[in-house]
């Protein structure tokens, strides 16, 4: 019988690796622009930040086959318009404007996409309760 996630006790995502070209520049972006807490830096050029209990590891690719843009990270925010305005004011390059992706029974799912300091595509998402 194959092991399932429930069968081995996985409870949450613990860490996500984000490929970067310049760890210090990327760490500054995630800390100063996005407001994530820098946990620590470690040799040979790693930075670890906290995103609501999930650790982001910023790292340069060790091998050519790993040197690619990262998966899209979706950062959940309570105020989409406020977060969008603040990041845009900070010089963040957005791909689009905040928009509704899906209308759910009790809320609307809003998203907008942007690039980090390394060119990785990222997103803001917000579940907005309808009145």
Q: Is residue 124 part of a domain?
A: yes
Contact between residue 103 and residue 5 where contact means Cβ atoms under 8 Å apart: no
Q: Token pair of 27, please? A: 């760490």
Is residue 2 included in any domain, yes or no?
Answer: no
Asked if 15 and 54 count as a contact pair (C-beta separation under 8 A), the reply is: yes
Domain assignment of residue 6, yes or no = no
Q: How many distinct structural domains can be found in the chain?
A: 1
Residue at 1 is within a domain: no
Distance CA 84, CA 93 (A): 10
Question: What pLDDT score was predicted for residue 1?
Answer: 45
Q: What's the token pair of residue 72? A: 């899209």
The CATH code of the domain that includes 91 is 3.10.180.10
Per residue in 102-112, pLDDT (tens digit) is 999 999 999 99
Within a domain: 102: yes
What pLDDT band is residue 8 in, cutting at 50, 70 and 90? low
The verdict on residue 79 lying in a domain is yes
Task: Please state whether the peptide bond connecting residue 110 to the residue before it is cis, i.e. omega within 30 degrees of 0.
Answer: no
Q: Where in the sequence is the domain holding 116, given as residue range(s)?
A: 12-129
Chain-centre distance of CA 61, in angstroms? 18
Residue 78 in domain: yes
Task: Report helix, strand or coil for 121.
Answer: strand
Digit-coded pLDDT (tens) for 65-112: 888 888 899 999 999 999 999 999 999 999 999 999 999 999 999 999
The model's pLDDT over 40-62, given as tens digits with 9 standing for 90+, comes to 999 889 999 999 999 999 999 88
Bridge partners for 108 per DSSP: 103, 128
**23 found inside a domain:** yes
Does the pLDDT of residue 7 top 50, yes or no?
A: yes
The token pair that represents 7 in the structure block: 């069968």
Model's pTM, two decimal places? 0.81
């Amino acid at each position: 019988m194959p092991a399932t996630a429930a069968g081995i006790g996985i409870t949450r995502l613990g860490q996500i690796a984000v490929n970067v070209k310049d760890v210090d520049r990327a760490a500054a972006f995630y800390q100063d622009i996005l407001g994530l807490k820098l946990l620590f830096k470690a040799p040979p050029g790693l930075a670890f930040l906290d995103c609501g209990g999930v650790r982001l590891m910023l790292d340069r690719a060790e091998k050519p086959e790993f040197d690619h843009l990262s998966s899209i990270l979706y950062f959940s925010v309570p105020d989409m318009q406020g977060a969008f305005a603040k990041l845009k004011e900070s010089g963040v390059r957005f791909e689009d404007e905040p928009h509704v992706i899906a209308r759910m029974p009790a809320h609307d799912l809003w998203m907008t996409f942007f690039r980090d300091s390394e060119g990785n595509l990222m997103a803001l998402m917000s579940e907005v309760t309808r009145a």
